[in-house]
Structure 1
Amino acid sequence: MKKTISIIATTGVVILGSAFLTDSVHAETPDNSQSERSTLNANLSEAEEKIANVMIDLEDLNEKIDSVNNALEQNKDKMSETTSEIKDTKEEINTIENDVKNLEEDIEVRNEILKSRIVSYQKSGGDVNYLEVIFGSKSFSDLIGRVSAVTKIAESDNKLMKQQKEDIGKLEDKKASVQEKLDGLNDMKVELEGMKETILAQKEQNEADKKELKEKEQKLRALKSNLQDKRRSLVTINREVEQRSGNVHSSSGSSSSSDGGNLTTLSKKEEKAPSGSLSEVMNAGMPYLGTPYVWGGGSPSGFDCSGFISWAFSQAGISVPSSTAQLQYTGSKVSYSNIQPGDLIFFNTYKTNGHIGIYLGNGKFIGSQNSTGLAIASMNNSYWKSHFAGHVRRIK
């Protein structure tokens, strides 16, 4: 900011000199002096305009680099959090596998008990042995006792078999739970690799931005030095003309007006508002730019890419899915040559159609990137350009 103020001040001083000279040359002067002053004034105005443009670009680049650096820090935290979650999930899976192993051992013990009983009282097969036990009784009371014993054995076997069936059901549920955990863990690994890829791409982009920033700073210094040289030359010529003509005029009011005009130019940066029938959807996320990327998030407290899409459309009363797997088939497919603001665009990141955004027009889209959070990005960016395969969907 100090550098910016310094350059603005320098620009103002030069314009002051320029205005002073312009008003002071109305007196009769040699043709060659008039021509030289006109040339210097033109060069001075051109240099001032370039400085203003460079300053705007410089501020934009500084903001962009700060944003990317913050995004890198946030992604570093997210990667650490995800790694920790993977570790916890693996430990939970190990616990479940131990439970499954114990359950299998219990079932094996029960199988041995059933086998032992079958050998002991069903050697001749079926229920015949039950009849032999009953009709082998020596008295009525013995008969009652034997019937009761046989009944208890049968009930016990039935309970044991029922318990075994229930335990087998539990085992199947445990296995299904383990498989679900494994599937979720694999998805998290794939997403983590995608995040790493994006972060590396953002790092490369960041380095490119830094290089561009340094080049612009060097150009700015060169322009400033050149501007000062022109100013000194202009002042020297002005003094010579004044000495010859004896007519000196002050034009501080004009210089103030000129200086104010340049300051206005520096502070203004015109932006075009998005257009299209889905403007409510497109504008829904604007107040929340910078919201951090959150895996599975679908609210202004945190979005992932598909969660933001679903939320943005809901603000216009339109219901769409909240996963890229479903969104890639939602609405109608249109060619990129017919793309309109409000269309959905897909990028092949860690998988085909792995990332999604809302097209805003002029090559821009809004989306929740795990590198920047909710942000407006350019499709001409080298990363997004290389990952866009032309898949566009239109929600009617």
Structure 2
Amino acid sequence: MKKKMLLLNTTVLLGLGGVLSTPTYASTIQDMESQKSQIQNQRQDVQSNIKAASDELTRLQAEQDQMKAQLERLTIAEEENNKKAQKTEADIKETSKQVEQLEKEIKLLQEKLEKRNDILKDRARSLQESGGNVEYLQVLLGSSSFGDFVDRALAVSTIVDADRGILKETKNMQDELKTKQADVKSKLASLEDMKAELDEMTVQLAAQKKQKDALAKELKDKEAKNEELKASLQAKDSSLANEQSTLEQNIKDQKAAEEAARKAAEQAAKQAAKKAAEQAQKAAAAPAEKADSSSAKAEAPKASSNDVAPTSAPAPKASNVVTVGNRWIGNSAYVFGGGRSQSDISHGLFDCSSFVHWAYSQVGVNLGPLGSVSTETLKHAGTQVSSSQMQPGDLVFFDTYKKDGHVGIYVGGGKFIGAQSSTGVAIANMSSGYWKQKFNGRVVRI
């Protein structure tokens, strides 16, 4: 009897084991988990690439905004320089008219002086023929020039009153001629300076126009690349989302099927056990043995993370005049006569002297009224020192369209920072090339 009961129990347990094991479902879940792990790894890689692409998009957008701002500055600078050029042209025309008028007046004075000269010669000749004063003739004949002749004649006390009147009038005309000639030379010098300034501005405008065109093309190219990158990222994101959605649905369906199979197996096992127990009771008339089942609980590992608060470096602060202007490098434009209003400064529109004035004002040094600052006022603003003793912070001067036509701030290492016509505020090398040729040795220490 005992042998029969043992055999029956063994048969029941083997049947229960076969129902609960469900090898087909276990194999499917294992495959799904493996596939899920692979897709998760793939998604991590894609998300990493998406983040990198997003960072690149952000950087490109910032660069794009910076380029647009620079284009706006260059447009303003171009308009201002055009106004300056038109005004200079008008000044040149007006000055040319004045010079022409002075030349006409000089020519008339020269003709009058020649006539006066002939009259004086005739009077001297008549005096000699009539036996005039010998001392008077010796003084006049010893003159080295017509001007000397007039001066000697006025000094001789024996000249008759009529001659003295003619000579005095001639002397006044001669002085007037010298004054007008000096005026002409001054006007011509001023005209040449204005012409040089106009030529320099023409070069500056051409350089700025070329720079603006290059920036516009670069901006257009980067915008196209930005759109391509954006479209590519959107396609990848859409594909990843579809794949993730499909995977999640498959996992959900599989888990539902697994749960249904598990419940069915449990129900079948219960029914089989109940039936086996009944048969055992009937066969052996003994109490049925109950089988206890236990389930192992998997404890999910706890994820740990070390959150470190990001630290940010303190905002840079300009500590001296050498570095205070670095903020304008790549963010400014050269405007002849610019930088003398708050609007110009806000838009980064400087010329060389206004930039130097602004830089020193940032460290508490006043270089005089902003509206009248120029290279001429700056070269007298401090103490002249030898170029061999030059140190950072000193003002350095260059002969460009005129003597001391450009000024900058020495930063050391043979370089200076200043508002250059083709680049705006920039650091340039004065130990070689163009600026070495233009440096005139003038150094001013503030």
TM category (shorter chain) comes to 0.5 to 0.7
**CA offsets 1:283-331 (integer angstroms, 9 cap, x no match):** 9x99xx879532xx89548975346546765861568983399589944
1:305 equivalent in structure 2: 352
What are the residue-to-residue correspondences of 1:170-189 with 2, within 5 Å? 170-189=176-195
Task: Percent identity, please.
Answer: 33
**CA offsets 1:240-299 (integer angstroms, 9 cap, x no match):** 13212339xxxxxxxxxxxxxxxxxxxxxx9744332677x869x99xx879532xx895
State the shift of 1:84 in Å. Answer: 1.5
Native 8 Å contact 2:367 2:378 kept in 1 = no
Q: Distance in 2 between matches of 1:155 and 1:388?
A: 65
Establish whether residue 293 from structure 1 lines up as the match of residue 336 from structure 2.
yes
Give the match's secondary structure for 1:316: coil
Letter in 2 for 1:99: E
State the shift of 1:195 in Å. Answer: 1.6
Equivalent of 2:425, from 352, 376, 388?
376
State the shift of 1:204 in Å. Answer: 1.9
Establish whether residue 333 from structure 1 lines up as the match of residue 387 from structure 2.
yes
Establish whether residue 276 from structure 1 lines up as the match of residue 303 from structure 2.
no
Establish whether residue 322 from structure 1 lines up as the match of residue 375 from structure 2.
yes
Equivalent of 1:246, from 252, 267, 283?
252
1:202 equivalent in structure 2: 208
Letter in 1 for 2:220: K
Establish whether residue 358 from structure 1 lines up as the match of residue 412 from structure 2.
no
Native 8 Å contact 1:75 1:370 kept in 2 = no
Give the match's secondary structure for 1:358: strand
2:108 equivalent in structure 1: 102
Give the match's secondary structure for 1:204: helix
Structure 1: gaps of 5 or more residues: 1-26, 131-150, 248-269
Native 8 Å contact 2:375 2:405 kept in 1 = no
Establish whether residue 395 from structure 1 lines up as the match of residue 395 from structure 2.
no
User: What TM-score does the superposition give when structure 1 sets the normalisation length?
Assistant: 0.64
RMSD: 4.4
State the shift of 1:213 in Å. Answer: 0.8
State the shift of 1:180 in Å. Answer: 1.1
Equivalent of 1:47, from 36, 44, 53?
53
Native 8 Å contact 1:348 1:388 kept in 2 = no
Residues 300/291 of structure 1: CA separation in 2 closer, same or farther (3 Å cut): farther
Residues 334/307 of structure 1: CA separation in 2 closer, same or farther (3 Å cut): farther
Number of matched pairs: 311
1:146 equivalent in structure 2: none
User: What TM-score does the superposition give when structure 2 sets the normalisation length?
Assistant: 0.57
Give the match's secondary structure for 2:375: coil
Letter in 2 for 1:274: A
Structure 2: gaps of 5 or more residues: 1-32, 137-156, 254-313, 345-349
Native 8 Å contact 2:334 2:425 kept in 1 = no
Higher relative contact order (CA 8 A, sep 6+): 1
Residues 119/307 of structure 1: CA separation in 2 closer, same or farther (3 Å cut): farther
Residues 278/220 of structure 1: CA separation in 2 closer, same or farther (3 Å cut): closer
